Amino acid sequence: MTTWEKIQLEFNKGNSAVRQIIMINLGAFIFTVFVGVIARLSGFAPEEMLTYFYIPSNLGKLIIRPWTLLTNIFFHAGFWHLLGNMILLYFIGRILEDFMDFKKIWKIFLYGGISGAMLFVISYNIFPVFSEVVGYKKLLGASGGVTAILVATGTFLPRYQIRPFGLFNVELRWVALFFVFRDLYMFPVSDNTGGLFAHIGGAIFGLIFILNLQGKITRPNLNQTSFFWDKKRDERMRGPIITDKKPKPNQDEIDAILDKISQSGYDSLSNSEKDVLFKASE
């Protein structure tokens, strides 16, 4: 088996989105190390090459580098920046993976990261306080996507308890609130304003994604706002809508199951209780 085949095997092992996200981020970090070595030997700064992967606040640069809206999510400013994001993703993301399918985890991470990057760009271009730095500021890091995962987990499993460092039990909703409040508290004094915008954008997306998934909010229906759309005519043309979709379990039932998990673990659930959680995540 070749080295590349071994990497592919590890990448697809367990069909884990969290595992894949961490591996891609590690791969991007290793790439930056090699770029740094080559740049050093060639006599130029690594930033001159890597800047093409970071999202710029300058709209003119962003228009000619649209790919940075995605690539910035996988690059980090250094080892400790990467380590902090990946540790949080590993411990929180694995919990969400027990209750949600592979594709949804990827959606939350990617769209959360993109939402954070968009909020960064928009904020730096509309608020006068950033007028002097908007021409050269940039954003990189998985913080937006990781925060989206964190808030999504705290919203979807609010009463699920974890035990940080084995010291005390705390529900995930309070963990998510702590990180969001920390970002808001740091906002007036932090030098990393762009990163905080990414966190906030990711948090908003994670919250909205889960609330929409639970049916507590719905996306706007453009047909209902159109003055030129005959809804009755559309219904006649489509015919009756037949659906076999079953109603989702209520929140009290889910909370009771989560309490059981906190006390006895996921393996203590019956098949019917696991089905309830699966339906709740659909």
* Virtual torsion, Cα 11, 14, 20, 26, nearest 10 deg: -60
| Between 12 and 30, the higher pLDDT residue | 30
What's the rounded mean pLDDT across residues 74-100? 92
Q: Which has the closest alpha carbon to 158: 89, 214, 101?
A: 214
CB 12 within 8 A of CB 73: no
215: phi > 0 → left, psi -120 to 50 → alpha, else beta; which? left
Where residue 221 falls among pLDDT bands split at 50, 70, 90?
A: low
Rounded distance between C-alpha atoms, residue 282 and residue 278, angstroms:
7
Residue 158's nearest CA partner among 210, 86, 103 is 210
Q: What share of the chain is helix, strand, coil (3-state, %, to 5)?
A: 70, 5, 25
Q: Would you place residue 80 in the very low, low, confident or very high pLDDT band (cuts 50, 70, 90)?
A: very high
Identify the band that residue 88 occupies on the pLDDT scale cut at 50, 70 and 90: very high
| CB neighbour list of residue 138: distance below 8 Å, 6 or more residues apart | 51, 54, 55, 56, 57, 72, 194
| The pLDDT of residue 275 | 72
Phi/psi for 56 (5° steps) reads -85, 150
Segments in 157-248 forming alpha helices (H): 172-186, 193-213, 231-238
How confident is the model at residue 231, as a pLDDT? Answer: 46
Q: What is the pLDDT of residue 249?
A: 64
Pairwise CA distance, residues 163 & 175, whole Å: 11
Residues 79-90 have a mean pLDDT of: 94
Per-domain residue ranges of the chain: 16-213, 241-282
Residue 219: the pLDDT is 67
Are 102 and 150 in contact by the 8 Å Cβ rule? The answer is no
- Mean per-residue pLDDT of the chain: 83
Residue 270: CB atoms within 10 A of its CB come to: 10
Q: Which residue has the higher pLDDT, 109 or 100?
A: 109
Looking at per-residue pLDDT, the higher value among 56 and 222 belongs to 56
For the domain 16-213, what is the CATH superfamily, name and number?
Rhomboid-like (1.20.1540.10)
* Residue 267 clears pLDDT 70, i.e. is over it: no
pLDDT at 110: 96
pLDDT attached to residue 217 = 79
**Taking 80 as the threshold, does the pLDDT of residue 246 lie above it?**
no
pLDDT score recorded for residue 257: 76
DSSP for residue 107: H
- For residue 77, which amino acid is it? A
Burial class (CB in 10 A: 0-12, 13-18, 19+), 234: exposed
Cα(262)–Cα(248) distance, integer angstroms: 22
Residue 281 is encoded by which pair of tokens? 């995540």
Both tokens assigned to 207: 């919250």
When pLDDT is averaged across residues 97-120 and rounded to a whole number, the result is 93
pLDDT digits (tens, 9 = 90+) for 126-166: 999 888 888 889 999 999 999 999 999 999 999 988 887 77
What average pLDDT does this structure show over 178-206?
Answer: 90
pLDDT digits (tens, 9 = 90+) for 25-77: 999 999 999 998 998 888 888 888 889 999 999 999 999 999 999 999 999 98
Instruction: Report pLDDT for 220.
Output: 59
What pLDDT is attached to residue 211?
Answer: 93
Which segment of 69-83, 93-107, 123-137, 207-221 scores lowest on mean pLDDT?
Answer: 207-221
Contact yes or no for 155/165 (Cβ under 8 A): no
| C-alpha closest to that of 177 among 146, 212, 150, 197 | 150
- What pLDDT was estimated at residue 57? 93
